[in-house]
Chains A and B, each alone.
Chain A
Amino acid sequence: MKRKALRAAFPYTLPVMIGYIFLGIGFGILLTSKGFAWWWATIMAVFIFAGSMQFVAVDLLVSAFNPLSTFILTLTVNARHLFYGFSMLSRFQSMGKKKPYMIFALTDETYSVFCGVDAPADVNADWFYFFIALLDQVYWVLGCTLGALGASIIQFNSAGIDFVMTALFIVIMIEQWEKTRNHLPVLIGIITSILSILVFGADKFIIPAMIGIILLLSLFRRPIEQRNLNEHA
């Protein structure tokens, strides 16, 4: 049963594999370039397991020790995860012992895979989702470790490698865009975020943008739900 779920889950993780190994390598290179031993990258990938936050963490680790501002910054950068949990409440409900790990491992990419797929009818859905999350973390740990190890051996110019994350999010956005004709939610996300950057600045825009997005989605609930209904009719 588990093996079948693993085999069914694997193909869905391939896009994330590419993204995570690229991005992980980028992270490993960045971290070692600041003078850290390679295994710090492995430790961070295992326990933090949050792409953008790990990149931010590199900045924090080379600054003065300040746990409080570290905590607040973590909440700000990861605040979007609140969105993800709400839409996974029912899916994770039946998962028992796997549930804590599912919550821990709910990254942007794993979440985007969960949004795009439903478990095939002939496999155990809980194990299917569990293996997607687990495989994704394996790729991430591998990528971070490889990058850190590799950078201590081979020298190359890694400037601009963080575009791998940008490209990944653009691709996810396009896939979502093509799946529905109801583009109002994604447009609300984009426009609210841009306005929030203009008003609050690039480093403080996430919380106001989140509030604005939730307000606008509430305001436009009727037309959005109407369009979703029409699409499924």
Chain B
Amino acid sequence: MSTLEISLTIAVIVAGTIFTRAFPFILFPGKKEPPPFITYLGVVLPMAAIGMLVVYCFRHVTFVSRPYAIPEVIGFLFVVLIHRWRHNLFLSIGGGTILYMAMIQSGFPFSLPF
């Protein structure tokens, strides 16, 4: 891509991102209260959305070929357990990432000598 094409591609992404973020505010402008159903969605959608985002992060993981999602499952369990235990973000996120990178880069578990 040329510099112009790179700039245009970025501009299109900026426009698309702003559109998705602004759409609800365009749909319900002004001071009027949104309908109760929208208010209900505002409470429960965030919870559902987080569930969706976690799945989104694992969307390319496969169980049918190497490494059979083993690094992902271990990484996931590590973050869940360590976070429920210590509630320390640095430990959960930093530790989980370093553990995962170590597994990916070493070819774990197929690099083990057994």
Contact A188 B51 (CB under 8 A): yes
Q: How far is the CB of B67 from chain A (nearest CB, A)?
A: 12
Cα separation A179 to B44 with both chains bound (whole Å)? 13
Contact A202 B59 (CB under 8 A): yes
Interface-located stretch among A3-11, A103-111, A122-130, A141-149: A103-111
Contact B75 A93 (CB under 8 A): no
Contact A83/B1 with A161-B101, A173-B51, A193-B52 known, Cβ cut-off 8 Å: no
Cα separation A88 to B49 with both chains bound (whole Å)? 14
Q: How far is the CB of A125 from chain B (nearest CB, A)?
A: 17
Q: Is the interface of A mostly helix, strand, loop or mixed?
A: helix
Contact B84 A174 (CB under 8 A): yes
Q: Is the interface of B mostly helix, strand, loop or mixed?
A: helix
| A160-182 vs B, Cβ < 8 Å mask (1 yes, 0 no) | 11011111111111101010100
Q: Which of chain B's residues have a CB closer than 8 A to the CB of A53? A: 13, 17
Q: State which residues 65-101 of B face A: CB under 8 Å.
A: 71, 75-76, 79-80, 83-84, 89-90, 92-94, 96-97, 100-101
Contact A82 B46 (CB under 8 A): no
Given contacts A78-B17, A168-B93, 7 further A-B contacts (CB under 8 A): A15-B89, A80-B53, A83-B49, A85-B23, A85-B25, A87-B42, A190-B55
